[in-house]
Amino acid sequence: MDPLNLPLPATFRILLHTDDQDQWPPEATLLVAAYHGNVRLLKEIATRMDVEEGVLGGGGGGGFHSMLRRTAYKGMNALHAAAGGEGLLPICRYLVEEAKMDVNKRDTFMGKMQHAVFSGNLPVVRYLLDHGADIHQQGNLEGHDGFTAFHTAAEKGRCAIAKFLLSRGAHVDGKSCHATPVHLAVLGGHDSTLKILLDHDADVLALSLICWLTIRAVFSISS
């Protein structure tokens, strides 16, 4: 099963072979707190990690905001988890405006915007863009190399997000290592998203026969 299709806590339960969060690394519990938008718990965990690091002589004592910026688990930090989590703006505002986390730092595979699009969090997508996120940032997840947030919107059939990203300058024919957004909408069976792309003059010249047949069917239904 693709871990991206699971909630983050469920992914960690599988990876760590236990439901007992007391047995998880503190980095994992910190990310889950961010995923759920629990600022209080996030601060508690980061403060405890900072104190413990200082006691062990690891350079701690810089404060929990510093710890939040430095902490990652499986390549992901707290803002990645929050952006792809339960869609709560307060946690994203806190991490960006108070903890000063970088809105464009990718995790191992993709950026914060892609996490938010993957989860369908339009308010978070808008917030990240308004605070400097790069709309054209590309990820390198296997099988999704070169995908931007807009590719992800097309692939997942996120109509409202696709419209919003187009209004903010996303490339309707953005290239990746595998497919353009219109290919992804066709292959995913997202007819409504496909129509949005075609209404914005997406290039269909390179499409395969099966894609052409799908497009004809979409227009037959809508006409």
User: What pLDDT is recorded for position 155?
Assistant: 92
Are 59 and 93 spatial neighbours (Cβ–Cβ below 8 Å)? no
Q: Which residue has the higher pLDDT, 62 or 153?
A: 153
Give the pLDDT band (50/70/90) at residue 124: very high
Predicted confidence at residue 207, as pLDDT, reads 56
**Can you give the pLDDT at residue 6?**
85
pLDDT above 90: residue 132: yes
Helix axes 122-130, 159-167, angle to 10 degrees: 20
Q: Rounded to whole angstroms, what are the CA distances from 116 to 78, 100, 112?
A: 13, 18, 6
Whether residue 17 lies inside any domain: the answer is yes
Sequence-distant (≥ 6) Cβ neighbours of residue 75 within 8 angstroms: 107, 108, 109
Pick the closest to residue 31 from 65, 79, 67 (CA basis). Answer: 79
Under 8 Å between Cβ of 63 and 10: no
Reported as a single tens digit per residue, the pLDDT across 3-35 is: 567 899 999 999 999 999 999 999 999 999 999
In a domain, 196, yes or no: no
pTM value surpassing 0.75: yes
Which of 23-37, 58-72, 167-181 shows the lowest per-residue confidence on average (mean pLDDT)?
58-72
3-state secondary structure of 76: strand
In a domain, 223, yes or no: no
On whether residue 104 sits in a domain, the answer given is yes
Is residue 72 one of the residues assigned to a domain? yes
Place of tokens 């969090």: 121
Please report which confidence band the pLDDT of residue 161 belongs to, taking 50, 70 and 90 as the band edges. very high
Task: State the total domains in the chain.
Answer: 1
- Structural domain including 87 reads 3-134
Whether 142 is covered by a domain: the verdict is no
pLDDT, tens digit (0-9, with 9 covering 90-100), for 200-219: 999 877 555 445 555 555 55
Unique residue bearing structure tokens 């413990």:
52
Nearest 5°: the CA angle 30, 128, 116 is 60
In a domain, 204, yes or no: no
Average pLDDT, the chain: 87
CATH of the domain at 35: 1.25.40.20
What's the pLDDT tens digit per position in 182-200? 989 988 899 999 999 999 9
| Domain-embedded: residue 167 | no
